[in-house]
Amino acid sequence: MKKIAVAIDGPGGAGKSTISKEIAKRLGIIYVDTGALYRTVGYYAREHGLSVNDAKVSDKITPMLDGINIEIKYVDGAQHVILNGEDLGDKIRQPDISMYASACSSVGNVRAFLLETQKKLARENSVIMDGRDIGTVILPDADVKIFLTASEQARANRRYKELVAKGSDVKYEEVLSELVERDRADSSRDVAPLKPADDAHLFDNSDYDFEQSVEYIIKVITEKTGVTEIEK
């Protein structure tokens, strides 16, 4: 199979990761979750006393980067992030880590620190990589770029259901306001803000279910690259 790179960008809750993971499986390529890298930096920052509301996040996080070593491993197709030798597993999925990740991701030095890890994965493998700046900064020459979005309500609803299914007693309104705040922060930052690449294919999946979203994107990938599903 020829080597391909697929970039999936978009706001939180649009289903980027679950959809990308399934597409990776069906096409036999690697799924790279770049949000996990920012979450790992956010996790380290929280463990080392950074306050997410600190006006000087940039000054505080930059010197911390010297103490961070991040490796990515794949076990049975699943991505594992190793921070200073420790596999963090689901620790980076704790709800407050989202805000730490978002705060750290607005710092140019953090983005520069994580750049090569992401580019290297795409140099060495066929990838579907999701994030906020994949089509614009990390893989500007990606074969396929999708900007995946959905209405705020649809996204908040999906995230809410996901959290409730995991046993959380979170309120819908909280989920919605956190999502709106994070979109605002991710889209309005100076460095690598969330925005569609000029050549991205815009896909609003508010009215699509999971399977329809997966099939839609696979169709775009197949049309553009000739790569087809190996399993279903």
Binding track over 89-108 against ligand DC, x by CB under 6 A: ---------x--xx--x---
- Of positions 4, 7, 8, 12, contacts ligand DC by CB under 6 A: 12
Structure-block tokens of residue 215: 């099939």
Per CB under 6 A, contacts with ligand DC among 58-87 are none
Q: Largest Cα–Cα distance in the chain?
A: 49
Q: Tell me how far, at minimum, the Cβ of 101 lies from ligand DC, in Å.
A: 4
Q: Which is nearer to ligand DC, 100 or 208 (CB)?
A: 100
Q: Tell me how far, at minimum, the Cβ of 30 lies from ligand DC, in Å.
A: 16
Among 109, 161, 101, which residue's Cα sits nearest to residue 132?
Answer: 101
Give the strand pairing for 78-83 and 30-33.
unpaired
- Site size toward ligand DC (CB under 6 A) is 15
Q: Which is nearer to ligand DC, 46 or 132 (CB)?
A: 132
**Alpha carbon distances (Å) from 134 to 61, 147, 194, 198, 226:** 23, 10, 9, 12, 21
Non-local (6+) Cβ contacts of 20 within 8 A are: 8, 31, 33, 128, 129, 130
Q: Which is nearer to ligand DC, 181 or 230 (CB)?
A: 181
- Catalogue the E-assigned strands of 84-213: 86-87, 127-131, 144-149, 201-204
Q: Tell me how far, at minimum, the Cβ of 230 lies from ligand DC, in Å.
A: 26
Is 35 one of the binding residues for ligand DC (CB under 6 A)?
A: yes
Q: Tell me how far, at minimum, the Cβ of 1 lies from ligand DC, in Å.
A: 25
Buried b / exposed e along 35-73 (16+ C-beta atoms within 10 A): bbbbbbbbbbbbeeebebeeeebeebbeebbeebebebe
Is 178 one of the binding residues for ligand DC (CB under 6 A)?
A: no
**Alpha carbon distances (Å) from 123 to 25, 37, 116, 209, 221:** 19, 18, 10, 32, 18
Q: Tell me how far, at minimum, the Cβ of 38 lies from ligand DC, in Å.
A: 3
Per CB under 6 A, contacts with ligand DC among 106-165 are 131-134
Q: Tell me how far, at minimum, the Cβ of 124 lies from ligand DC, in Å.
A: 18
Instruction: List residues binding ligand DC (CB under 6 A).
Output: 12, 34-35, 38-39, 98, 101-102, 105, 131-134, 182, 186
